[in-house]
Amino acid sequence: MSNNHIESHKIKINGREAHYLKAGSGPPVVLIHGGASDARDWTGTMEALGDHFSFYALDLLGYGESERNESGYYFSDFTDFLAGFIDKLNLEKPVLAGHSLGGRFCLEVAIEQPQKVSKLVLIDTTGFGNLSALGNFLQLFFWVWRKVKRIKQPFPTFLMRPGEKFHRNYNSEELQGLKIPTLLVWKRRDLYLPVGIARRAVKKIPGAKLVVVEGTGHAPHKGDTEVFNKIFSEFLNGG
């Protein structure tokens, strides 16, 4: 009997309303969406691999059906929210997998609280290098386009403390201190985050692996779901 039926749940994390999707049975895997998306990004993976793992796809603060404070959130709010989710559900050292900005929050939790994480999967993730010039243009273009069309921005307001930058890059010492088995998955032609930054990052993380998915794009788990699921499954199973 298949365990890949996707359920929708609401819980409170540190007093904040949170929504997540759950599917499958087996070792826990927490899935974190990118900066302009939500938990539904992961349904293709949850349905395909749910017979072997328990998947938890969380809507981050300000996204999907989780709470959205119009005044915005600091980056630390997102990492606290993710760590709090693991604690709230009593997940025993789950795998953390994150895409783009969501990957950065997974990386942050893995660096700050490694005892909470068994493995780390980072998909076209921010924090390893700057956006390309084209990436900056595309980000601004879509922001303006949504404003003109009066489409609600899919992300909350990001607040910065003094000295903080939106595109913070992790230094060599931080990455070299990461002792958790780590996989980077990247599109060969990512228009936002060139694969070269992944090639440099993987050399700094002890024992890390990089798998490059052919083609153009920024989200292989969505655009190349079958290919990604095979890569993901092999890593989850110890490959």
Burial of residue 10 (number of CB atoms within 10 Å: 0-12, 13-18, 19+): exposed
Tell whether 45 is covered by a domain: yes
Q: Comparing C-alpha atoms, which of 208, 234, 185 is closest to residue 49?
A: 234
Tokens of 85: 């989710």
Per-residue burial over 140-164, b if 16 or more Cβ lie within 10 Å, else e, is: eeeeeeeeeeeeeebbbebeeeeee
In a 3-state reduction of DSSP, which class is residue 109?
helix
Which tens digit of pLDDT belongs to each residue from 156-167? 999 998 888 777
User: 18, 32 in Cβ contact below 8 A?
Assistant: no
Tell whether 196 is covered by a domain: yes
Which tens digit of pLDDT belongs to each residue from 27-83? 999 999 999 899 999 999 999 999 999 999 999 999 999 999 989 999 999 999 999
Tell me what pLDDT residue 194 has. 95
> Can you give the pTM of this predicted structure?
0.93
Query: If you average pLDDT over every residue of the chain, what do you get?
Result: 93
Tell me what pLDDT residue 140 has. 80
Does residue 150 surpass a pLDDT of 90? no
Number of domains in the chain: 1
Give the domain range for residue 127: 7-236
Q: Comparing C-alpha atoms, which of 33, 84, 42, 41 is closest to residue 60?
A: 33
Tell whether 118 is covered by a domain: yes
Which tens digit of pLDDT belongs to each residue from 168-193? 899 999 999 999 999 999 999 999 99
- The amino acid sitting at 167 is H
Does residue 116 surpass a pLDDT of 50? yes
In this predicted structure, which of 82-91, 94-103, 115-124, 160-169 has the lowest mean pLDDT? 160-169
In a 3-state reduction of DSSP, which class is residue 116?
helix
Does residue 2 surpass a pLDDT of 80? no
Tell whether 1 is covered by a domain: no
Burial of residue 34 (number of CB atoms within 10 Å: 0-12, 13-18, 19+): buried
Tell whether 2 is covered by a domain: no
Tell me how crowded residue 218 is: count the other CB atoms within 10 A of its CB.
Answer: 21
- The amino acid sitting at 49 is L
Tell whether 135 is covered by a domain: yes
φ/ψ of residue 187, rounded to 5: -75, 140
Tell me what pLDDT residue 47 has. 94
| Size of the chain in residues | 239
High-pLDDT (> 70) share of the chain, %: 98
Tell me what pLDDT residue 1 has. 38
Tell me what pLDDT residue 3 has. 59
- CA gap 175, 206 in Å, rounded: 8
Tell whether 101 is covered by a domain: yes
User: 2, 50 in Cβ contact below 8 A?
Assistant: yes
Tell whether 20 is covered by a domain: yes
Residue 161 sits in a domain whose CATH number is 3.40.50.1820
- CA gap 124, 102 in Å, rounded: 10
